[in-house]
Amino acid sequence: MNDKGRIVLGLLAFLVLITFPVWYNLVSGQDSRPPEVELPTDETRCVADREFMRTEHMQLLMDWRDAVVRDKQRIYTTEDGRQFPMSLAGTMHTHDGGSCMSCHANKDKFCDRCHDYLSVTPYCWDCHVEPKGEQ
Amino acid sequence: MAVKRREFCKLAGVSALALAGGSASAPGAAAEANETDKLIGEPIVGNRWAMVVDLQACRKEEGCRDCIVACHSTHNVPAIDEPKEEVKWIWKEHFAEAFPNQQHEYLAHDLQHEEVLVFCNHCDSPPCTRVCPTQATWKRDDGIVMMDWHRCIGCRYCVAACPYGSRSFNWRDPRPYIDEINADFPTRSRGVVEKCTFCDERLAQGRMPACVEACKDKCLVFGDLEDPGSEVRRLLEKRHAVRRKPGLGTQPEVYYLV
């Protein structure tokens, strides 16, 4: 049982390697904070409150999708009575406002920042048309 | 859907302002002319949508493709040259191919050489919807044979089932084949079937189908068959109309005045 030194050395090497992502980020000074998304400047109210949108937007979008395509419903009424088209990227609007992307006009700085950070790749944009303008 | 009181008040207010001020604008809605036609109108609703194609009027201008161009640019239909992979919603077919049962040796000369406008027939008894394993295509209660591209898995059963060749499959990514993408309508992705939907998205916004709007000779008439006062009913009562391959029992809802 004279291998104590070797075992400890091996364990140490193992620990260093397995924690590589943690200390590498610390040493290289890279920021590991969650991404900041750019919010629209001329509109402060979304179709629902911020916490709900943050966690449930995907479910809301899927409900909208089914309502539009399958149930012929195209207008969404918010809790405070405003009406919006249930549209991800179209340019048609009601008196209260337009599609998601009519406010969040920059996909890179809004959708992608979070999605990239979380490594999720929704396939919305395979078909829906990303707004032009500043990219 | 009936006009809600709130909407009615808004509309009335906007109209009154427009009349009084000339340049009045609604809060939130831009006053520019091109912005106002982006405003979603009251949906056009019906119980049994149908199309009547006046072949005599359509024949007048040879080589006219107005309706085809309007439809394909509105719906981001890719222009792929290879016949095996082409995607089409509305196109022209020789009379003999569109109406194989009407073909005979002594057919009127102009009919023999005529090209007939064809698109999805929105059948009353659609074979395509019966074979779809995911209900990505189904018949709506207003008769439109609808597509849900989110659900299509690309099995192509519907393509095989449709006796009119109205369905196209995207063998490749269609985006590079679209000249100018219309942001108001999605494109499709590879592996999805597509076809004419009687412009369900335009009807929902209070506008007539793109092809109907584009035809300057008014050869395409769209309307509700269950409304006895509609233009389609009036035309069908007045003139003789034929349908494509009626013997198959699919009950097409596109009528051709010959």
Q: Where are the domains of chain A?
A: 1-30, 37-135
Task: Outline where B31-144 has alpha helix (H).
Answer: 33-36, 55-59, 66-74, 95-98, 109-112, 127-131
Smallest Cα–Cα separation from A102: which of A120, A81, A84, A119? A84
CA distance B213 to B193: 25
> What pLDDT, on the 0 to 100 scale, is given for residue B197?
97
Of the partner residues A65, A74, A93, the one whose CB lies closest to the CB of residue B150: A65
Query: ipTM of the predicted structure?
Result: 0.81
Comparing alpha-carbon positions, the chain B residue that sits nearest to A72 is: B204
Smallest Cα–Cα separation from A124: which of B127, B166, B240, B187? B187
Comparing alpha-carbon positions, the chain A residue that sits nearest to B27 is: A95
CA distance A37 to A112: 9
CA distance A49 to A46: 7
Burial class (CB in 10 A: 0-12, 13-18, 19+), B82: exposed
Q: Which helix (H) or strand (E) holds A69?
A: helix A50-71
**Cβ neighbours of B186 in A, within 8 Å:** 127-129
B122: Cβ contacts below 8 Å, ≥ 6 apart:
B49, B50, B51, B143, B144, B145, B196, B198, B252, B253, B254
- Strand order across the B254-257 sheet: B220-224, B49-54, B254-257, B241-242
Contact B27 A93 (CB under 8 A): no
In the predicted model, what is the mean pLDDT of chain A?
A: 91
Contact A126 B189 (CB under 8 A): yes
Instruction: Give yes or no for B24 touching A (CB within 8 A).
Output: no
Smallest Cα–Cα separation from B192: which of B171, B176, B164? B171
Three-state secondary-structure class, residue B222: strand
Instruction: Give yes or no for B27 touching A (CB within 8 A).
Output: yes
CA distance B253 to B118: 12
Q: How far is B208 from chain A (nearest CA, A)?
A: 16
**Domain B49-257, CATH class in plain words:** alpha beta
Entry field: residues in chain A? 135
**Cβ neighbours of B146 in A, within 8 Å:** 69-70
**Cβ neighbours of A70 in B, within 8 Å:** 146, 148
DSSP A23: H
> What pLDDT, on the 0 to 100 scale, is given for residue B5?
60
Structure-block tokens of residue B118: 């064809």
> What pLDDT, on the 0 to 100 scale, is given for residue B9?
54
Percentage of the residues of chain A whose pLDDT score is greater than 90:
76
Q: What is the mean pLDDT of each run of 10 residues along chain B (258 residues)?
A: 56 53 40 66 95 90 92 97 95 92 81 88 97 97 96 97 97 96 95 97 95 95 96 96 95 95
What global pTM score does this model have? 0.81
Entry field: residues in chain B? 258
- Render pLDDT for A14-64 as a digit per residue (tens, 0 to 9): 999 999 988 888 887 766 677 888 999 888 899 999 999 999 999 999 999
